């Protein structure tokens, strides 16, 4: 914890809108590992309208709120399920808004971690997501890789993580992220 800014802020984005989402559970389990000194906020992307260049003329309130939250973040952590061998449309929509010069491109240069949980596997979706983050010039923190397949065996019915191996990986991720922000 030496050399850390007095308060770091990490913003989580969940690629699923499901209330008891495994991915929201993964973000929650990550948050539980953070020291008190680090603030964590989950962004709400559920009410964002679909991106359209016409809508940029009069930016919606939900978009402005998300932009401000992302700007306030020292780092982002994104957790997404795999939908049809890619990541989800709600997440893509949020990234499209946040990629725009009308919002001063708040993702550019931002440190980011990606992870995910899905019924079978999440590897392909996370590869797609990393490609888009490369296009957005985000600063990917690549290790440890957290890809939770067979999610039904690793979370309870409320979406709480119950797998000790994944919990340990999240602890390593927390350390890597803190080191990257020093």
Ligand X SMILES: Cc1cc2nc3c(=O)[nH]c(=O)nc-3n(C[C@H](O)[C@H](O)[C@H](O)COP(=O)(O)O)c2cc1C
Residues engaged in binding ligand X (CB under 6 A): 16, 18, 21-23, 81-85, 118-121, 151
Cβ neighbours of 131 (radius 10 Å): 10
Contact between 77 and 30 (Cβ < 8 Å): yes
| Smallest distance from ligand X to CB 54, Å | 28
SS3 58: helix
Closer Cβ to ligand X, 62 or 160, answer by number: 160
What separation in angstroms does the CA of 103 have from each of 40, 46, 106, 107, 181? 22, 19, 7, 10, 24
Closer Cβ to ligand X, 16 or 99, answer by number: 16
What's the CA gap between 164 and 169, in Å, rounded?
Answer: 9
| Smallest distance from ligand X to CB 28, Å | 11
Cβ neighbours of 119 (radius 10 Å): 12
Closer Cβ to ligand X, 47 or 175, answer by number: 47
Closer Cβ to ligand X, 21 or 99, answer by number: 21
Closer Cβ to ligand X, 99 or 125, answer by number: 125
| Smallest distance from ligand X to CB 73, Å | 21
Cα dihedral sign, 2-107-15-84: negative
| Smallest distance from ligand X to CB 90, Å | 11
Contact between 106 and 66 (Cβ < 8 Å): no
| Smallest distance from ligand X to CB 26, Å | 8
């Amino acid at each position: 914890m030496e050399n850390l800014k007095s308060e770091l802020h990490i913003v989580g984005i969940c690629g699923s809108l499901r209330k008891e989402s495994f991915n929201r559970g993964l973000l929650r389990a990550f948050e539980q590992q953070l020291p008190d000194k680090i603030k964590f906020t989950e962004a709400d992307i559920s009410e964002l309208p679909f991106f359209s260049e016409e809508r940029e003329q009069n930016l919606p309130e939900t978009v402005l709120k998300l932009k401000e939250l992302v700007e306030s973040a020292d780092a982002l952590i994104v957790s997404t399920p795999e939908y049809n061998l890619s990541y989800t449309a709600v997440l893509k929509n949020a990234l499209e808004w946040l990629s725009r010069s009308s919002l001063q491109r708040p993702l550019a240069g931002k440190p980011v971690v990606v992870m995910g949980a899905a019924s079978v596997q999440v590897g392909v979706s996370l590869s797609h997501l990393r490609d888009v983050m490369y296009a957005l010039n985000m600063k990917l923190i690549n290790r440890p890789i957290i890809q939770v397949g067979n999610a039904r065996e690793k979370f309870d019915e409320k979406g709480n993580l119950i797998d000790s191996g994944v919990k340990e990986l999240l602890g390593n991720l927390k350390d890597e992220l803190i080191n990257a922000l020093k």
